[in-house]
Structure 1
Amino acid sequence: MKNIDKNTIPTHSFDWGLIKWFVSPDRIDGANVTFGEVVLLPSKGHDRHNHPDSEEILYVLSGEGVQTIGDGDPFPVKAGDVIYIPTAVFHSTYNTGWDAMRLLAFYNPGGAEKGLTGLPDFRELPAGQIQSFTRS
């Protein structure tokens, strides 16, 4: 596989944002990692959770937010920051800005993304379908 076209990949939708998994063991034969883009909506975030079998790296592409790792105090994150989360350590990420916060997420080994599909607000949008948002 030479190039991965993100327009051919389903979008995972949640109350707090969107994810496209570009690389995962389920999607690409021989892949041992998971890599994708996360969009956190303004004033939303991914609640405290962990990945029992995977470490995670987050790279903030745009926006600003607050990150927790383990029992440590929340700390600010912004575009250009890299966050390392060890295997099984609880963590959360929240967007504190007025615009969408975009991150790249990497799981090693891959597979931790499967846990997100069991969340009550999970929806999968077919490739090419655009998520709409309404103001409450």
Structure 2
Amino acid sequence: MEIKVIDPIKDGKKIWLGDKEGYIRKVFRAIDKDLVNSQYFVSGITYFEPGESSSMHNHPQSEEIDFVIQGEGIVYSGNEQAKFKKFDYMFIPKGVMHRHVNTGSETLILFWAYTPPGELPKD
């Protein structure tokens, strides 16, 4: 069968990003060239515990879409910020610096996808 059903936790590539307290997040990449031979997408989910944040980063050649599965937070870009909550989408144009912060009391779970494929941030 050409269609693939992927459990991101069991089947995905586990990538723990960040090494400073407050900037550690759990990434489970489910779609990429290595995992499913995707030519156009990289996708997965990220878990942020309360108070955790991503580093400020960008995807220089990729547009990104995020969907909030659970939780709430703030996305920062330069001097701008926007609140988000469960079931919100975020669109991040290619090359735009951004950072997600979990401002809630429960685990923030974000679905993310970007295209064309590029590298995840290093921290």
Q: What TM-score does the superposition give when structure 1 sets the normalisation length?
A: 0.76
| Structure 2 residue aligned with 1:95 | 102
Which deviations, in whole Å up to 9, do the C-alpha atoms of 1:60-83 show, x marking residues without a partner?
1110100123x3521111001110
Answering whether residue 53 of structure 2 is matched by residue 53 of structure 1, we say: no
Greater Cα shift, 29-38 or 74-83:
29-38
* Equivalent pair of 2:31/2:38 in contact (CA under 8 Å): no
> Quick one: which of 81, 104, 115 aligns to 1:108?
115
SS of equivalent to 1:60? strand
C-alpha displacement of 1:9:
2.4
Please name the residue that 1:28 is paired with: 36
Match of 2:21 in 1: none
Aligned pair count reads 115
Unaligned residue ranges in structure 1 (runs of 5+): 120-136
Change (3 A) 1:52 1:96: same
Secondary structure, counterpart of 1:48 in structure 2: coil
**One-letter amino acid of the structure 1 residue matched with residue 72 of structure 2:** E
Aligned-pair Cα RMSD in Å: 1.6
- Residues 66 and 110, structure 2, Cα contact 8 Å, conserved in 1: yes
Paired-residue identity, %: 27
Secondary structure of the residue aligned to 1:77 is strand
Q: Is the 8 A contact 1:25 1:111 kept in 2?
A: no
Q: Which amino acid aligns with 2:104?
A: G
Unaligned runs of 5+ in 2: 19-23
Q: What is the CA-CA distance between 1:5 and the residue it aligns to?
A: 3.2
Give 1:1-136 correspondences, 5 Å limit.
1=2, 2-6=4-8, 7-15=10-18, 16-69=24-77, 71-113=78-120, 116=121, 118-119=122-123
User: Shift of the alpha carbon at 1:14?
Assistant: 3.0
